[in-house]
Amino acid sequence: MRTQVAIIGAGPAGLFLAHLLARAGVDAVVLERRTRDYVEGRVRAGVLEQGTVALMERLGLDARLRAEGLVHTGTNLAYDGEIFRIDMAALTGGSAVTVYGQQEVMRDLFDAAESRGVRIVFEAEDLRLDGLTGDRPSVAFTRNGVAQSLACDFVAACDGFHGVGRASIPADVLKVYERVYPFGWLGILAEVPPVNHELIYANHAHGFALASMRSPTRSRYYVQVGLDERIEDWSDERFWDEVETRLGPQASAGLVRGPSFEKSIAPLRSFVAEPMRYGRLFLAGDAAHIVPPTGAKGMNLAVSDVAMLAEALTLHYAERDASGLDGYSARALARVWKAERFSWWFTGLTHRFPDMDAFARRMQVAELAYIRGSKAAQTAIAENYVGLPMGFGGEPSNR
Ligand code: APR
Ligand code: PHB
């Protein structure tokens, strides 16, 4: 088998890249270890930045998103029993986010794959990358027990945090930056109407809580928990009690409880690997970086990476111009670090850290009080939350 670009992984990074390349007439094959059902079934965040929505539109895949997505022009912070709203649209000249589950995005991308000529090989196992520093790289894998090889010009590793892409880069080439947080998020999905028409991020003495949603009838809630917590110890009743306490009386007024149909604990991590290129291998999405979920930047960051990578690959094939590929790592990382900063900062503002003393706690409350009263501080949150420019299509990239 031969293609121009071998894409490893059919998560958001891999599938968006495959669609962008198909649209540009660049030949690509996606190799995914799992099945479509498995990939599509993973419950992840659901807040799309305006750039992600714009990209779905550019691909002509925004019909369902426009019909079913919930446009949020503001977001809310709760602390000390009270709640205040950040009017993102007013502070950013009209920008907003769209609540539309990652699972829905994946469904739209998978559904359109065949008609757009996006080729995906599922259940590609034991993947190995060869010849990355030469000019004839290849990907070896097995499918149904049969060994296969995909020859290509470039490899795009969109294979997530535990993939083979980053692991194929020699340790002395790669510089890794990491922060592991001393807590996780326990999240549930429930078929109940959301407590509020927009999201609420709450800082409480017991820890962080988030009220989110998937639709007007489906809610997503999270509470910060210790890393030693076990899911079996969290009955729905205990979870709802904790959400209500942490949101506080004002924010939790009208909270509708119901049985959860999904419940899981996820650890929080900040991580960046530099550079995002090694020879003919390019990293994109979680393969290169992880953000804590506070602010919902994970998928949006994967989208901005692959928008830049697709542009660079297209330039290479259309004009034999390597400048995009040469500049990809630096350009992507410039945006990655800003999203890392915001996600890290927003986590610090809203979570309870085990080593926090009384002074640190007062500083957190003082910062929340400052944000509440400051248009400048709210503007800084708003412009990050709706998403810094993705830098595609001639848009300035906020360097
Ligand atoms: N061979 C083939 N496929 C692989 C391999 C491998 N060795 N390793 C991983 N994969 C696949 C995974 O099965 C997964 O479907 O790569 C895909 C990576 O997808 P994600 O982990 O979702 O990563 P990414 O596309 O970068 O998504 C970024 O979306 O899923 C969220 O938390 C994620 O918010 C982040 C964003
Ligand atoms: C979600 O709805 O799952 C969600 C929303 C906002 C976040 C994180 C997760 O910051």
Q: Tell me the pLDDT tens digit for each residue of 369-380.
A: 999 999 999 999
Angle CA(265)–CA(271)–CA(276) in degrees, nearest 5? 130
Distance (Å) from CA 332 to ligand 2 centroid: 23
Confidence of residue 397 (pLDDT cuts 50, 70, 90): low
Mutate to test the pocket of ligand 1, among 126, 158, 269, 286 (most ligand atoms within 8 A of CB): 286
The verdict on the CB of residue 316 being under 6 Å from ligand 2 is: no
Look up the pTM and report it.
0.97
Task: Quote the mean pLDDT of the chain.
Answer: 96
**Whether the predicted pLDDT of 149 surpasses 60:** yes
Query: Measured from the CB, is residue 298 less than 6 Å from ligand 2?
Result: no
Confirm or reject: Cβ of 45 under 6 Å from ligand 2: yes
- Pocket mutation for ligand 1, best pick of 15, 31, 32, 106 (most atoms within 8 Å of C-beta): 32
Q: Is 293 in the pocket of ligand 2 (CB under 6 A)?
A: yes
What gap in Å lies between CA 260 and CA 252, rounded to an integer?
18
Residue whose Cα lies nearest atom 21 of ligand 1: it is: 160
**Is the pLDDT assigned to residue 27 strictly greater than 80?**
yes
pLDDT digits (tens, 9 = 90+) for 327-375: 999 999 999 999 999 999 999 999 999 999 999 999 999 999 999 999 9
Nearest-5° angle of CA 386, CA 389, CA 394? 145
Q: Looking at residue 3, what is its pLDDT?
A: 98
Pair type for strands 75-79 and 200-203 = parallel
Query: 5-70+99-178+269-352, superfamily in CATH?
Result: FAD/NAD(P)-binding domain (3.50.50.60)
Distance 43 CA to ligand 2 centre (A): 11
Q: What share of the chain has pLDDT > 70, as a percent?
A: 98
SS3 string, the chain, reads CECCEEEECCCHHHHHHHHHHHHHCCCEEEECCCCHHHHHHCCCCCEECHHHHHHHHHCCCCHHHHHHCEEECCEEEEECCEEEEECHHHHHCCCCEEECCHHHHHHHHHHHHCCCCCEEECCCEEEEEECCCCCCCEEEEEECCEEEEEECCEEEECCCCCCHHHHCCCCCCCEEEEEEEEEEEEEEEECCCCCCCCCEEEECCCCCEEEEEEECCEEEEEEEECCCCCHHHCCHHHHHHHHHHHHHHHHHCCCCCCCEEEEEEEEEEEEEEECCEECCEEECHHHCEECCCCCCCHHHHHHHHHHHHHHHHHHHHHHCCCHHHHHHHHHHHHHHHHHHHHHHHHHHHHCCCCCCCHHHHHHHHHHHHHHHHCHHHHHHHHHHHCCCCCCCCCCCCCC
* pLDDT for the residue numbered 398: 54
What pLDDT does residue 393 have?
60
pLDDT at residue 16 above 70? Answer: yes
The domain segmentation of the chain, as residue ranges, is 5-70+99-178+269-352
For residue 295, the model assigns a pLDDT of 96
Is 282 a residue whose pLDDT tops 60? yes
Atom index in ligand 1 nearest the CA of residue 34 equals: 13
Give me ligand 2 centre to Cα 140, in Å. Answer: 37
- The answer to whether residue 124 scores a pLDDT higher than 90 is yes
Using the mean position of ligand 1's atoms as its centre, give its distance from the Cα of residue 76 in Å: 30
Rounded Cα–Cα distance for residues 88 and 49 (Å): 12
How far does the centroid of ligand 2 lie from the alpha carbon of residue 228, in Å?
A: 22
The interaxial angle of helices 358-373 and 375-385, nearest 10 deg, is: 90
Q: Is the minimum distance from the CB of 220 to ligand 2 under 6 angstroms?
A: yes
Determine the Cα–Cα distance for residues 30 and 351; give it in Å rounded to an integer: 38
Specify the pLDDT at position 391. Answer: 76
From the CA of 222, which ligand is nearest? 2
User: What is the Cα–Cα distance from 297 to 122, expressed in whole angstroms?
Assistant: 27
The rounded distance, in Å, linking the Cα atoms of 236 and 241 is 9
Mean pLDDT, rounded, for 243-257: 97
- 103 pLDDT band (50/70/90 cuts)? very high
